[in-house]
Amino acid sequence: MKKIIINGGKRLSGKIKIDGSKNAALALIPASLLTKDVVTLENVPDISDIHEMLDILNILNVSYEFIDNKLTIDSSRIINTPLIKKNIEKIRASYYFMGALLSLFQNVQIIAPGGCKIGNRPINYHLNGFRKMGINVNEMDNVFNMSYVILNNTTIKLPFPSVGATINLVLAAVKSDNIIIIDNISCEPEVNQVIDFLKSCGARIKKIGHNTLIIIGTAKLKGTTFKVMNDRIEAGTYCILAALLGDNLLIEGINKDHLNSLFTILDKVNADYFIKDNIAYFNKSNLNNPFEIETSPFPLFPTDLQQPICVLGSFLPGQSIIYENIYEDRIAHIKELNKMGADIKIFQNKIIINGRTPLFSNKLKAKDLRGGAALIIAALSAKGTSLIEGVNYIERGYPNIIQKLSNVGADIKMEDS
Ligand code: UD1
């Protein structure tokens, strides 16, 4: 079992470089199957979730090469085969094979998606959207069978701007003979990446206003080379860490427009930083104000940074409050932070952080990806030696995290026993 061992309390200096976006790349891999030509994706992060997706390509007889963050995909010999193996359940993004395979073969058999246990994560918006397009959807024992003869011209209004449902419905619609309109779409940058990628393959997708898409089906898409954007959540995680421990610490490869909601909070708490081009420069901060946050769809504060920013709250005077509006059970980190000396309480979706409480090292267990990142930040900020289990969750989304943190002076190592 892998463990991360951290001797905390050290200031961090130097440079951390951000990798490509996990959630964008995870969607772009199934999207790449929509052309029989070769697709090259650049800046793909080397993380376990990507390798899980590549394993699914093996099942589908799709060839690929993944070297130095460049992923070349050749799906000219793709076969439609049931995706029902247990390992497909491991990741959330496996649901994108629903839209992609429906588009290619008019039918798919696939097991329900998995992902971090952060709440009830239904896919009813995906399924209802498919049904509105004219796709038959049946579920038995957690396996979906979906098929159609022709798709309808239709307008689908999502009840909530879901990232996954928006992308899945676009994938299902983009090669049809129809005009499909999707309203109340997610405006997350990762969704825009998929749209831009498909357009570069020749898809006809038009954004009307802020949150409506018109998709005019295009039977044949062509290959392309596409650069995955940098990961705004990885960037945000390191910026939170830098606000706590940075002393001439540079976070390189950020897009400020993707993280304005975080930088507004860092300004409020008096973090000492500035941004030039794609680098955030952090000095030693004198943190002195609590914050109030509501997690919401982009451009508001991302739920994926709720867990890391809880740690920051413990180092601020007064009471910081977070309303977790997206996932009701994204709270596994709180018990662990309280074990370290934090004073965090939960009332329904309201997280109340009473600061300032020094944190002390402890034996900790990550139970999900971003909660794991929060524990790493906490252990780096706490005096003494902490041990973190549940490393497999962290490896799902933070490439090379041990090396990146060691390079800036953290006393951190991984042990595999
Ligand atoms: C994606 C991201 C995840 C991120 C989340 C929100 C991937 C692989 N995962 O997850 O890291 O935390 O966006 O930014 O990209 N909902 C329903 N029914 C549905 C779909 C969603 O009720 O059919 C609800 C969810 O339970 C949640 C909200 O809508 O409360 C948002 O979910 P969604 O945007 O779909 O998140 P995911 O695509 O699962």
Phi-psi group of 292: left, alpha or beta (phi > 0 → left; psi -120 to 50 → alpha; rest → beta): beta
Distance 34 CA to ligand 1 centre (A): 23
Average pLDDT, the chain: 96
Active-site residue flag, 116: yes
Q: How far apart are the first and last CA of the chain?
A: 5
CB 37 within 8 A of CB 222: yes
Q: Give Rg (Cα) of the chain.
A: 22
8, 50, 89: which is closest to 399 by C-alpha?
50
Measuring from atom 15 of ligand 1, which residue has the nearest CA? 23
Measuring from atom 1 of ligand 1, which residue has the nearest CA? 163
Phi-psi group of 253: left, alpha or beta (phi > 0 → left; psi -120 to 50 → alpha; rest → beta): left
CB 43 within 8 A of CB 19: yes
CB 175 within 8 A of CB 204: no
Task: Pick the atom of ligand 1 nearest to 303's CA.
Answer: 12
Task: Pick the atom of ligand 1 nearest to 162's CA.
Answer: 34
- What average pLDDT score do residues 271-294 get? 97
CA distance 195 to 204: 9
Sign of CA dihedral 100, 104, 106, 110: negative
- What's the confidence (pLDDT) of residue 88? 85
**pTM score over 0.85:** yes
Measuring from atom 35 of ligand 1, which residue has the nearest CA? 162
Task: Pick the atom of ligand 1 nearest to 113's CA.
Answer: 39
For the cut 80, the answer to whether the pLDDT of residue 64 exceeds it is yes
Q: Which of 96, 211, 326, 368 to mutate to test the pocket of ligand 1 (most atoms within 8 A of CB)?
A: 326
Q: For Cα atoms 194, 195, 201, give the angle at the middle one, nearest 5 degrees.
A: 90
For the cut 70, the answer to whether the pLDDT of residue 118 exceeds it is no
Which member of 116, 201, 239, 310 is catalytic? 116
- What's the confidence (pLDDT) of residue 89? 82
Task: Pick the atom of ligand 1 nearest to 167's CA.
Answer: 38
Q: What torsion, rounded to 10 degrees, do the Cα atoms 16, 19, 22, 28 define?
A: 170
- What average pLDDT score do residues 372-396 get? 97
Distance 372 CA to ligand 1 centre (A): 19
User: Strand order of the sheet with strand 212-216?
Assistant: 154-157, 179-183, 212-216, 204-208
CB 167 within 8 A of CB 27: yes
Q: What percent of the chain has pLDDT over 90?
A: 93
Amino acid at 242: A
Measuring from atom 38 of ligand 1, which residue has the nearest CA? 164
Bond preceding residue 356 cis, omega within 30 of 0:
yes
Measuring from atom 17 of ligand 1, which residue has the nearest CA? 122
Q: What percent of the chain has pLDDT over 70?
A: 100
Amino acid at 100: A
Range with lowest mean pLDDT among 82-86, 213-217, 279-283, 311-315:
82-86
- What average pLDDT score do residues 274-299 get? 97
Distance 218 CA to ligand 1 centre (A): 27
CA distance 16 to 156: 42
Tokens standing for residue 334: 């709180």
For the cut 70, the answer to whether the pLDDT of residue 62 exceeds it is yes
Instruction: Enumerate residues lining ligand 1, CB below 6 A.
Output: 23, 26, 92-93, 121-126, 160, 162-165, 186, 302-304, 326-327
> How do residues 178-225 score in pLDDT, each as one tens digit?
899 999 999 999 999 999 999 999 999 999 998 999 999 998 999 999
Sign of CA dihedral 294, 114, 144, 138: negative
Please report how the helices 163-173 and 22-31 are oriented relative to each other, as an axis angle in degrees rounded to 10. 20
Distance 3 CA to ligand 1 centre (A): 29
CA distance 170 to 217: 10
> How do residues 230-248 score in pLDDT, each as one tens digit?
999 999 999 999 999 999 9
User: 205-239 burial string, b = 16+ CB within 10 Å, else e?
Assistant: beeeeebebebebbeebebbebebbbbbbbbbbbb
Q: What beta strand segments (E) does 192-278 contain?
A: 204-208, 212-216, 225-227, 246-252, 273-276
Measuring from atom 12 of ligand 1, which residue has the nearest CA? 304
Task: Pick the atom of ligand 1 nearest to 120's CA.
Answer: 26
Give the pairing of strands 38-42 and 12-17.
unpaired
Amino acid at 9: G
Tokens standing for residue 310: 């809880």
> How do residues 28-56 score in pLDDT, each as one tens digit?
999 999 999 999 999 999 999 999 999 99
CA distance 169 to 354: 42
> How do residues 327-379 score in pLDDT, each as one tens digit?
988 988 999 999 999 999 999 999 999 999 999 999 999 999 999 999 999 99
